[in-house]
């Protein structure tokens, strides 16, 4: 890659980081049936009828392979107390669930205990988007609780408590 495009990518990543977001962990099963997951902040609601959500995953991520080959995943919206868990799922490692409390959802993917919300999905479509894939899921089951959100802004995590 020429030096100039590396610089543009770095600046673009930094500019994208000005958009404050929540933090999710998308969980799934690998080809051995073992639980795995990836920290994702590109999550968005998409449709109410049918109930759809989306996120994007980099084609170089290991999770991209499991999302392409598998049919089920769950989006877990993280709470304030999940910061170290968010960093744990943001690094490649063998056992991403080490020390994490979770249970198996109806779709077979892990649900992280204490998540502010979780959305169990069946893969609905995958669309190419440059060096990422846009993954669209149809929500088959979900739940939510009150609590303070984990927030990502300019490479750091903080928290947000709503007034309601």
- Count of C-beta atoms within a 10 Å radius of residue 46: 17
Within 10 A of 34 (CB to CB), how many other CB atoms are there?
A: 12
Among 3-11, 53-61, 73-81, 112-120, which window interacts with ligand FMN (CB under 6 A)?
53-61
- For ligand FMN, the binding residue among 34, 47, 58, 106 (CB under 6 A) is 58
Compare residues 23 and 85 and give the one whose CB is closer to ligand FMN.
23
Q: From 37-45, 68-76, 77-85, 141-149, give the range in contact with ligand FMN by CB under 6 A.
A: 37-45
Give yes or no for residue 130 binding ligand FMN (CB under 6 A): no
- By CB under 6 A, tell whether 92 contacts ligand FMN: yes
Q: How many helical (H) and strand (E) elements, i.e. helices and strands, does the chain have? A: 3, 12
Of 38-46, 69-77, 111-119, 140-148, the window that binds ligand FMN (rule: CB under 6 A) is 38-46
Hunting for tokens 């170290």 — which residue is that? Answer: 84
In the complex, the smallest distance separating the C-beta of residue 55 from ligand FMN, rounded to whole angstroms, is: 6
- Please report whether residue 106 would count as binding ligand FMN according to CB under 6 A: no
**Nearer CB in complex with ligand FMN: 65/145:** 65
Q: What is the DSSP string of 114-144?
A: T-SEEEEEEEEEEEEETTEEEEEEEEEEEEE
The DSSP secondary-structure symbol of 7 reads: H
- The structure tokens listed for 33 are 């049936």
Going by DSSP bridges, is the β-strand pair 44-47/52-58 parallel, antiparallel, or unpaired? antiparallel
Tokens representing 59?
A: 């084609």
Interface contacts to ligand FMN, rule CB under 6 A: 23, 38-42, 55-58, 61-63, 90-92, 152
């Amino acid at each position: 890659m020429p030096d100039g495009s590396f610089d543009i990518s770095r600046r673009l990543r930094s500019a994208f980081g000005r958009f404050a977001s929540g933090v999710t962990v998308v969980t799934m099963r690998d080809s051995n049936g073992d639980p795995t997951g990836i920290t994702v902040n590109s999550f968005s609601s998409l449709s109410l009828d049918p109930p759809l959500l989306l996120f994007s995953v980099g084609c170089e991520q290991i999770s991209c392979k499991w999302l392409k080959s598998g049919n089920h995943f769950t989006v877990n919206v993280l709470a304030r107390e999940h910061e170290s868990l968010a960093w744990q799922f943001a690094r490649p490692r063998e056992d991403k669930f080490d020390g994490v409390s979770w249970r198996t959802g109806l779709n077979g993917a892990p649900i992280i205990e204490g998540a502010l919300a979780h959305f169990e999905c069946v893969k609905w479509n995958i669309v190419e988007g440059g060096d990422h894939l846009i993954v669209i899921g149809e929500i088959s089951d979900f739940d939510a609780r009150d609590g303070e959100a984990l927030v990502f802004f300019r490479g750091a995590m903080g928290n947000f408590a709503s007034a309601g």
